[in-house]
Structure 1
Amino acid sequence: MHARKIVTAVAASAALMAGMAVTGQASAEVRSDARTDDAARFHRQALDWHRCRTGPDDEIGQALDAAGARCAEVAVPLDYRRPRGRTISVAISRIRATDPAARRGVLLINPGGPGGSGLPRPLLGRLMPDVAARYDLIGMDPRFVGRSTPIRCRWTTDTPTRSAGPARRTFDESAILMKELADGCVKGNRDLLPYASTRNPARDMDVVRAALGEPRLSYLGYSYGTYLGAVYTQLFGGRADRFVLDSAVDPDVYGPDLLSANGPAIDAALGNWASWAAARDAEYGLGGTQAEVLATVERVDRAATRRPLRVGAYRIDAHHVPYLLFIRLYDDSAKAYAGFAAEVRTLAGAARGEAVTVPASLKETLDGLFTGSGAAEDRAGTPILCADRAASRDLETYFRDIQAHRADEPLFGPMTRNLGPCSFWPTTPVEPPTRLGNDVPLLVVGADGDPVTPFPGQRAMHRALTGSRMVTLRGAFRHGAYLAAGDTCVNTTVNRYLVDGVLPDGDTTCDKTTER
């Protein structure tokens, strides 16, 4: 999914976190002696807790401090096969349980990505007060992300996600860009790249658990975080307490080509938004029926194919339009749909050759797309994808696949099936992909119209984890179900599990609450 944020009430609740890059490298001290096992010494390290704010411009650190959080650094091996070798640092945050007498343990929260910063996630406690009363909430910047020992890819874009465009020429243009992006991750990082795979942050999580003095770990993971959590249960199932996996990725597809089968789900989500916009044609002027709104979108795409659209300081071509549509489909709330409609209206005006006023949200996205000014989670996430599973280096494989699906996936297929930087990656995975298959009891939740981690893939994760129960939010076209505003059915089920340990007797379904 190339590290897009979950644009739901989960993210909206912590707007202070959104779009902020966290930088800096921390250090940690490991207490050891000759009698200590090489690997176990990391479990016994003493943590130095301190304020989270790193400077006057660190708004995330300031918010954490204001919420009573403390931060620390945990030392972990770069290569767990050689625990006497080089160590790196993993940054964590903690907000203690608000009801110490009822405290159960620790709950680590991962926002997804891969490449998402987990450090601010304990701030979500305000949305789940019953859970926050029972658990110390833990945030963790996975290795090479945020304040942890970083991999800094020198890019002038926030994301490698691009459409291959309409022709061989535009496909070759995207391949050139992907080669440049891969090269931009090599300098100063080559010795780190092989150790970015998901198995290693899962191992880091277990070091964090032990360093906190906890016998077991509870976990809430979104999107890519579901894969990270599932890998933890595969490696350390006996130490997994209560795990919630929201918007699960398909474990059989996860890797550099994760989006390859997403076209139909994205089309369905776009259609749902188009119906919403059509009912408000008087306000947005995009068309009075779903078909008319989709025709407006198609005209934008065709116009960008003929010549770049002038939108503010930027020129948007066929490589960019599908991406700009896709990232606005993570959230199906009325507020998100209204913002999306305003952006499409801007693009439609540009397609007609008009001078347009660019909404602030679209300008922020374009700034990141063309300059790399945003949070840049994809820069941190790409090394993880490339270390988890090797991508094909045969460019013709991608082009043939795109061509084979142009008729049935004309808008999004050339984006979801396009190659990425991993096809030019300088290193290969040092471990095979993790094969998931265990009976650890846990909860899988998600929306059946999710365009980012489609429902069939969620069910594949559920099948692989035979001890899991699944809660489906029916009729929702969003990425992220738990803590979404108004959907009390999912929230109640997850809270009951985390607080009381009660899993549903079987798989259950919740209906999306209709917004008025």
Structure 2
Amino acid sequence: MTKIKRNAALLAASAAVLSLTAPLAATASTPAAPTAPATAKSLDWQPCKGSGVDPRQECATVEVPMDYAHPKGKQIGIAVSRIPGENPDARRGALLLIPGGPGGSGINNPSGKGQKLPQAVRDAYDLIGFDPRGMGRSTPVSCGLGQADLAPSRLRPWPAPDGSVTGNMTAARRVSDACARNGGDLIRHISTANEARDLDRVRAALGERKVSAWGVSYGTYVGAVYSQLFPHRTDRVVLDSNDDPDPTRVSRGWLAGHEQGVEDTFPEFAKWASAPGNPDRLARTAAEVRPLFLRLAAELDRDPIPWPGANPAELDGNVLRQALLTTLYDPDDFPGLAELILAARKGTVPPAPQAPPEAVLQNAVAVGSAVLCNDIEWPGSPDAYAKEVAESRSKYPLTAGMPRNAMPCAAWPFRPKEAPVRITDSGPSNILLVQNERDPATPLSGALKLRTSLGERATMVTVNSTGHDAYLDNGNECGDRTVSHFLATGERPSRDKYCG
């Protein structure tokens, strides 16, 4: 696959899962009293199906209440997977691999990211993956959206070229109506707090008194909420690429974080794109790259380039802006964006990107929308968004007002069933945060707010690196070593640490 195709595919996949972990609580809510938990013996472990799965990975289903307010009512399935620890003599317990999103699948994480873990960690833990409620191999939901509403640049609320939010409000009503019509009862019960409660059912079904966790992106908020609701069920918790836990905004704050995250990260792309000897060089100096990009996006707003086979079937300014946002998640994808820019400047386009299967997109968008909209109530007035968008466009032109615009939540027909969970410093001191300095989706500014909320419960490792997902991905050796040592031994730095 060429760099352009790979980047475009990543663009589609990333937007499909909404990636508001920055890409999505008043007083602490009290979890409903749980029913008798499942036991480890009740899990019927079978070989996992699918290509690319480690032959050691096995799968099972944990039954949980759809509605924890009525724990003896309808039950749904949570698909879980595991690769047992590789050294029984060194076994410590289970490590939950919490996926991002919201709308991300984690069932194959033991075979994927779990195999990046150092041997000492894989020896000590059963690696546990899962699909969150509503997702993938768990009891699934879908909104049955039209093809146009699955376009990557439509899944993020990019305003019209003139800044108008009218089209976004229309789309919000259309998507929300489809979710209410096709999502069934389950879509009303998909939330971060319920995912945390599901995880405690998984813990019990595994027969573990406590569990460790590695949450990434939106998974950091899930991990923080789990640690708040079930503090004494946690062992060693790593939160990687961290969400702002502001209980007054939650998912609205995660979306808004992109404007600062892109500003933090774009200079690295500009330096790369102006480096002598770069075959995809865009400009002679880094200072020239930003105005070049803004001019091209404005030109494409006025005169899009037809893009047969793509969704939408043209390269306009918002498609380019979405490509920028997604590319900044991983510096390895910089060449793909540069090639797209070079092609567009010539009036051409690369081959149309291959999107994920429609069923996968439908499922991811439904789960992502449900979490964002059920966690907290969003304003319903277009005027509220128009004002915020205008201010954002002025201060942060690279993101053109998108981070403060209306998601489907602006027209969501259901009220949140409970207040967001407030993250506090009450609980055991067993959390390690790891965070890149330059992250477009979960910026350092938001991660510092989570660090403050957790107080002495946490220590934070800030990594001098660029991109989303720090540990064993876009971070550095110092950060990776610090996190691995904590998982293997339980020893954290005595104070917050900077990995330069």
Are 1:162 and 2:122 an aligned pair?
no
Q: CA deviation at 1:79?
A: 1.1
TM-score, with normalisation over the residues of structure 2? 0.86
Matches within 5 A, 1:141-160: 141-155=131-145, 156=147, 157=150, 159=152, 160=155
| Partners of 2:466 and 2:475 within 8 A in 1 | no
| 2:434 matched residue in structure 1 | 445
Are 1:484 and 2:479 an aligned pair?
no
| 1:404 matched residue in structure 2 | 391
Q: In structure 2, which of residues 104, 126, 129 is the aligned counterpart of residue 136 of structure 1?
A: 126
| Partners of 2:190 and 2:370 within 8 A in 1 | yes
Runs of 4+ in 1 over 6 A off after TM superposition: none
Quick one: structure 1 residues 263 and 311, their matched pair in 2 at CA, closer, same or farther if it must change by over 3 Å? same
Residue identity in the other structure for 1:331: D
Give the distance between the partners of 2:474 and 2:299, measured in 1 at CA. Answer: 37
Q: Deviations over 1:114-166 (max 9, x none)?
A: 11101011122321122111100000101001111111122221652031033
| 2:448 matched residue in structure 1 | 459
| 1:27 matched residue in structure 2 | none
Q: Secondary structure at the match of 2:42?
A: coil
| Partners of 2:236 and 2:487 within 8 A in 1 | yes
Are 1:357 and 2:345 an aligned pair?
no
Q: CA deviation at 1:355?
A: 3.3
Between stretches 316-325 and 395-404, larger displacement belongs to 316-325
Give the distance between the partners of 1:188 and 1:377, measured in 2 at CA. Answer: 14
| 2:328 matched residue in structure 1 | 329
Give the distance between the partners of 1:507 and 1:176, measured in 2 at CA. Answer: 46
Q: In structure 2, which of residues 94, 97, 120 is the aligned counterpart of residue 109 of structure 1?
A: 97
Q: CA deviation at 1:243?
A: 0.3
Quick one: structure 1 residues 280 and 374, their matched pair in 2 at CA, closer, same or farther if it must change by over 3 Å? farther
Residue identity in the other structure for 1:346: A
Residue identity in the other structure for 1:262: H
| Partners of 1:261 and 1:417 within 8 A in 2 | no
| 1:78 matched residue in structure 2 | 66
Higher relative contact order (CA 8 A, sep 6+): 2
Please give the root-mean-square deviation of Cα atoms over the aligned residues, in Å: 2.5
| Partners of 1:265 and 1:449 within 8 A in 2 | yes
Q: Deviations over 1:227-264 (max 9, x none)?
A: 00000011100010000000110000422452214313
| 1:284 matched residue in structure 2 | 280
Give the distance between the partners of 2:306 and 2:151, measured in 1 at CA. Answer: 20
Give the distance between the partners of 2:360 and 2:306, measured in 1 at CA. Answer: 20
Are 1:92 and 2:80 an aligned pair?
yes
Quick one: structure 1 residues 379 and 133, their matched pair in 2 at CA, closer, same or farther if it must change by over 3 Å? same
Are 1:209 and 2:198 an aligned pair?
no
TM-score, with normalisation over the residues of structure 1? 0.84
Q: Secondary structure at the match of 1:469?
A: strand
Give the distance between the partners of 2:206 and 2:167, measured in 1 at CA. Answer: 49
Are 1:503 and 2:492 an aligned pair?
yes
Q: CA deviation at 1:408?
A: 1.6
Matches within 5 A, 1:112-511: 112-123=100-111, 124-128=113-117, 129-155=119-145, 156=147, 157=150, 159=152, 160-167=155-162, 170-252=164-246, 253-280=249-276, 283-313=279-309, 314-332=313-331, 335-349=332-346, 354-358=347-351, 363-364=353-354, 367=355, 377-437=364-424, 438-440=426-428, 441-466=430-455, 467-474=457-464, 476-484=465-473, 487-511=476-500
Give the distance between the partners of 2:301 and 2:493, measured in 1 at CA. Answer: 50
Residue identity in the other structure for 1:415: M
Quick one: structure 1 residues 285 and 502, their matched pair in 2 at CA, closer, same or farther if it must change by over 3 Å? closer
Structure 2: gaps (5+ residues): 1-5, 18-32
Give the distance between the partners of 1:347 and 1:205, measured in 2 at CA. Answer: 46
Structure 1: gaps (5+ residues): 1-10, 23-36, 512-516
Give the distance between the partners of 2:476 and 2:391, measured in 1 at CA. Answer: 39
| Partners of 1:299 and 1:348 within 8 A in 2 | no
Between stretches 438-447 and 239-248, larger displacement belongs to 438-447
Q: CA deviation at 1:289?
A: 1.0
Give the distance between the partners of 2:191 and 2:360, measured in 1 at CA. Answer: 26
Q: Deviations over 1:271-294 (max 9, x none)?
A: 210111100476224111112222
Q: Secondary structure at the match of 2:473?
A: coil
Give the distance between the partners of 1:324 and 1:413, measured in 2 at CA. Answer: 13
Q: Deviations over 1:457-486 (max 9, x none)?
A: 101111111210000002x22111100267
Quick one: structure 1 residues 324 and 394, their matched pair in 2 at CA, closer, same or farther if it must change by over 3 Å? same
Q: Secondary structure at the match of 2:279?
A: helix
Give the distance between the partners of 1:432 and 1:412, measured in 2 at CA. Answer: 30
Q: Deviations over 1:326-380 (max 9, x none)?
A: 0111012xx322222222222333xxxx33333xxx613xx469x7875863332
- Identity in percent: 35
Structure with the bigger percentage of helix: 2
Matches within 5 A, 1:8-87: 39-42=35-38, 46-53=42-49, 58-59=50-51, 63-64=52-53, 66-87=54-75
Quick one: structure 1 residues 80 and 265, their matched pair in 2 at CA, closer, same or farther if it must change by over 3 Å? same
| Partners of 1:158 and 1:372 within 8 A in 2 | no
Residue identity in the other structure for 2:35: A
Quick one: structure 1 residues 470 and 177, their matched pair in 2 at CA, closer, same or farther if it must change by over 3 Å? same
Give the distance between the partners of 1:88 and 1:117, measured in 2 at CA. Answer: 17
Quick one: structure 1 residues 47 and 415, their matched pair in 2 at CA, closer, same or farther if it must change by over 3 Å? same
Give the distance between the partners of 1:38 and 1:247, measured in 2 at CA. Answer: 31
Aligned length: 460
Give the distance between the partners of 1:423 and 1:485, measured in 2 at CA. Answer: 34
Q: Secondary structure at the match of 1:186?
A: helix
| Partners of 2:165 and 2:385 within 8 A in 1 | no
Q: CA deviation at 1:219?
A: 0.2
Residue identity in the other structure for 2:297: D
Residue identity in the other structure for 2:182: G
Give the distance between the partners of 1:471 and 1:265, measured in 2 at CA. Answer: 18
